[in-house]
Every structure is written in C-alpha cells, then in structure tokens.
Amino acid sequence: MSFCEERFHTIDYLAEGNGSQRSAYEILMKLKVIQSLKVYDPILIGTVPIDLNIAGSDLDIACEVSDMKVFVQRAYELYGACDGYRCIHRLKDEVERSVVHFEYAGWPIEIFGQPVPTKQQNGYKHMIVEAKILALLGSERKEQIKLLKRSGLKTEPAFGQLLGLQGDPYRALTDMYHWNDEQLLHMVKMSMDEVV
C-alpha cells in the first residue's frame, strides 16, 4: 500500500482536492490559522483531509500547547470576533485541554489544544489510520461510511460498525496506528469477507 503520512503535515494538498477541501484551504489561508498558530505545530485533522466530511462537518485543528492560558488568549485575539466564538477548558484523564469553537464563511472550526505533540494525539492517529483503511476499502465502502455518518454516527463508530470492530472503536483505531500494512490489509479483508 502506497501511503504518505507526511502529506497531512501541511495543508497544501487541500488546494488540489475536492470542492470541500479547496474551500477549507481558502478559509484556513484567509484566516491564517496555520501561520498564526505555528508555534503550536497545528495540523488539520478529522474528516475533511480524508474526504469523509458531510454537511455540518467542521475543520479540526490539533495543537500542542504547553501554556494553556497563553493559547486561550492568543485564540481569542485571533478569532474572538468570529461568529459563535466560545472556548471550553477541561481536564480529562488528568490532561488539560482547551477547545476553541467558532464559525467562518459557513465552516464550523474547532481548534483543540493539549500538552501532547500533535502527531501523538489520538485525533491525528485516527485520521491516519482511517486514511489507510479508506485506501484499502475503495470508494463503495467509503460511501457506506458516509451514509453511516449521515445517519448520526460519529466517524470512529462508523468505521467500527463497517469493519465489525469489537469494543471501543476509538481505542481500536488508536491501537491500529501502530499496525503495519499487512495487519491493516488482513483486517480489512476479513471485514469485507464478513459482509459478502
């Protein structure tokens, strides 16, 4: 399987993507999100990069943040005037997290900060695994995942249902990040055999 994880480390690929991806690229460039938050090693994660977004999907930007107070202040300075701006701060699993929400030009945007390198965050790992699985599944099964999402499932549970994953799909996908191509291919083939 030919897969380049590094392509997701910038947003350049969006400029050559589908309509939603090009729109996301224009918005992110206009807002200068990646440039303005560069110190936090921002990465666009979620469904838009892997073409699984549906109506209402947001642009998710993961950031590595060591000083949450400075991050929250910076986000407010940059995007506080945007529609629906709000910031949620919480402690989960003893890890401090802040999520900034706002809307711009019809796109819901979510900037997520936690003191974990962006490429080690679960949202990033899920996106990479999902992209690899999609490359193996093909377009018909990709559309099935979009249908499951339109029916109300979140992305990870949709993958879990389609692939017949047991237990928590979020944990399963996180674990799969460390799988090699052969392991992923075997799992995908098994799931396809069960559907047939």
Sign of CA dihedral 30, 33, 34, 36: positive
Longest Cα–Cα distance of the chain, Å, equals: 53
* Nearest CA-CA partner of 77 in 31, 10, 30: 31
CA distances from 29 to 12, 17, 20, 164 (A): 10, 15, 14, 39
pLDDT averaged over 10-residue windows placed end to end, the chain, 196 residues: 80 96 97 97 97 94 97 97 96 90 96 97 96 89 93 94 92 93 88 64
Structure tokens at 152: 């109300």
Phi first, then psi: what are they for 96, rounded to 5°?
A: -75, 135
**Contact assessment for residue 37 and residue 118, using Cβ atoms and an 8 Å cutoff:** no
pTM here?
Answer: 0.92
pLDDT score for 93: 81
- Domains observed in the chain: 5-118 (3.30.460.10), 123-195 (no CATH)
pLDDT score for 196: 42
